Amino acid sequence: MTSALIIRTAGTNCDAELMRAFELAGARPTLMHLDRLVAEPRRLEDFDILGFPGGFSYGDDIASGRIFAMRLRERLYAGLREAASRGVPMIGVCNGFQVLVQVGLLPGPPAGEEWPMGNPPRQEASLAGNAEGSFVDTWVRVEANPASRCIWTRGLIEYFDGERAGAAVELMRLPIAHGEGRFVVENDRVMQRLEKNQQIALRYLDNVNGSQGATAGVCDVSGRIFGLMPHPERYLEWENHPFWTRLPGATRRGDTPGLAMFRAAVEAAGKGAPTGPRIASAV
């Protein structure tokens, strides 16, 4: 059975629903405190998938995810690098996404380059304060990029095939809840690289936080490491949909889009790093 490690710390608060997402998707989740992992970094080798949950790690003091990211970078990069090279799928949701970006795991090295030894890739993107200046909780319409290699959003793309295709647009919403979710990059070259490599795996149709390129989620060039501001783990059941009471019963069958993302990744985890031709060329 695929094993998933959920890494928590003080202030993590979406760990239970992330655990449940993996469980429903057919994996065996384990929850571990960051301090324990820092003390025993070899434990990372025991897992097939890594999850970085949402919340307010260390209170989001200084900035969202800052201290969590600093500790991962300073203490655990070697192990994370090894896992990334091994093709271990990783997901960072909300605070977890903010963390992965600040560690340098996202967007990750340019195509064709290895994960660097020693220090992680330089931070090239950031999740800045929402354009409107305040925390916002709502559901937004999203669109998965069919050209992306992202193994997580593949579950969403498949959603548009088959019998539910007609209702898919209505169902393809995800909840957001954040104050700092505005995706920005260091300069235009970074954005061009992300576009070219199809690393922008998920975009907002309702760009409420003002993200550059309406970016909701980003993956590394392998498509296995993925971070997003919306919370797919809060959409595991049809009753989570913001107006499910209006949707016909027949539409509310099978996996929700949220669960489909985890299912796709759990299935991909067993299969090793894909070598598909979806990326045109390296930058």
Partner 1 sequence: MPADTTATTPVSHLKVYRIEVAPRPGRADPAADSVVRAAASLSLPVASARTTSVYFIQADLDQPQIESVKAALLADPVTESASVGAAPVRPGTRVVEVHPLPGVMDPIAQSVKLAIRDLLGMAVEVATGRRFDLAGEGLTQEHAAALARSALANEVIQRVHLEPWSPAAFPQGRPHSNELRHIEIIGLSETHLEKLSRDAHLFLSLDEMRAVQAEYERRGRNPTDIELETLAQTWSEHCVHKTLKSTIRYQNDGNGAGGRGGASSLDADVLKWSGRPGHEIQPDGSVVIHNLLKSTVAAATHELIKDGLDWTLSVFVDNAGVIAFDDEHAVCVKVETHNHPSAIEPYGGAATGAGGCIRDVIGTGLAARPIANTDVFCVAHPDSYGGARSGAGQSLPPGCLHPRRILSQVVAGVRDYGNRMGIPTVNGAVYFDDRYVGNPLVFCGCIGVMPRDRIKGKVNSGDLIVALGGRTGRDGIHGATFSSAELEQSSADEFSHAVQIGNAIEEKRVLDAILRARDEQPQPLFSGLTDCGAGGFSSAVGEMGKDTGASVHLEKAPLKYAGLSYTEIWISEAQERMVLAVPHANLAVLRRICDEESVELAVLGTFAPPPGSARGDPDLALYFRGEEVGRLSMRFLHEGIPTPRREATWSGGRRAASETRVGGTGVSPVDTRVHQSRSLEQTLLTLLAHPNIASKHWIIRQYDHEVRGGTVIKPLVGPALSGPSDASVIKPVPRSKRGLAIACGLQTGMGDPSIAGAFADPYLMTLAAVDEAVRNLVCVGADPSRIAILDNFCWPSCKKPENLGSLVRAAEACYDAAKAYRTPFVSGKDSLNNQLTLADGTTIEIPPTLLVTGIGIVSDVASCITMDAKQSGNVLVLVGPVGSGLGGSHFQRIISSGKGVPAVRSAEHDLSVPRTDLSLGPATARAVAGVIASGLVRSAHDVSDGGLLAAVSEMLIAGSTPGQPIGATLDLGERDLDPIAELFNESPSQYVIEVVPLDMPSLKAALGGIPHAVIGRLDGTGDLVVNAQMSAVPVASLREAWLGTLDW
The binding site for partner 1 (CB under 8 A) comprises 10-14, 16-17, 20, 33, 35-36, 54-56, 58-63, 66-67, 70-71, 73-74, 102, 122-126, 128-139, 175, 177, 182, 184-186, 210, 231, 233-237, 239-240, 242-246
**Minimum CB–partner distance for residue 273 and partner 1 (Å):** 28
**Minimum CB–partner distance for residue 252 and partner 1 (Å):** 9
Q: Could you confirm whether 74 is annotated as catalytic?
A: no
Which residue among 94, 124, 150, 180 is the active-site one? 94
Half-sphere exposure of 273 (CA within 13 A, CB side): 12
Q: Could you confirm whether 94 is annotated as catalytic?
A: yes
Distance CA 7, CA 83 (A): 14
End-to-end CA, the chain:
37
Nearer to partner 1, 51 or 54 (CB): 54
Residues 6+ apart with CB under 8 A from 200: 145, 148, 194, 213, 215, 217, 218
Nearer to partner 1, 110 or 274 (CB): 110
Distance CA 125, CA 191 (A): 9
Q: Could you confirm whether 231 is annotated as catalytic?
A: yes
Nearest Cα residue to 138 out of 109, 173, 104, 107: 173
Nearer to partner 1, 175 or 217 (CB): 175
Q: At 270, is the secondary structure helix, strand, or coil?
A: coil
Q: Six-digit token pair at 82?
A: 């090894």
Which residue among 17, 150, 178, 231 is the active-site one? 231
**Minimum CB–partner distance for residue 120 and partner 1 (Å):** 11
Q: Six-digit token pair at 124?
A: 């090239």
Which residue among 17, 124, 180, 233 is the active-site one? 233
Catalytic residues: 94, 231, 233
